[in-house]
Structure 1
Amino acid sequence: MIITVKAARVNKGLSPQEVANHLGIAKRTYQRKENGEIRIYADEIVVLSRLLGVPVQNFFETQCRKKTHNTA
């Protein structure tokens, strides 16, 4: 089953600020990543996977990252 970052965070009972603190980024930056406005980097995916209890592979599924656009 594929789960979005936001759904995984909510299921774990964490606030956006708590997750942002674990990633070492601002809350707004985290929210933009969670909403697919900006990319989540590989090292952040590892942290999110461990923190949220979701396999790393989940975050590479198309349905999970449907809003992220290639900015290159």
Structure 2
Amino acid sequence: MPAREYYLDDGRWWDAPVGTWRDGKGRPSKVLPSVEELASALVTRVVLATAHRDHDTSNLNPPDIRVGGR
């Protein structure tokens, strides 16, 4: 399941694993967002993928594995 990231206009973002809002520098936010701010939050869907360059899934050498996002 793709992850979802939530961002506010002022740079705050939701850190789901920890369950807290963070400021633009990654520190826990001292101010919770208002209902109005939450209504205008940007939602980004995060999808990560890996690929084997030689198409051999048994080859786990780091140069053969490419990590990318969409």
For the criterion TM > 0.5, the same-fold answer is no
Query: What is the TM-score normalised by the length of structure 1?
Result: 0.23
More strand by share: 2
More helix by share: 1
Query: What is the TM-score normalised by the length of structure 2?
Result: 0.24
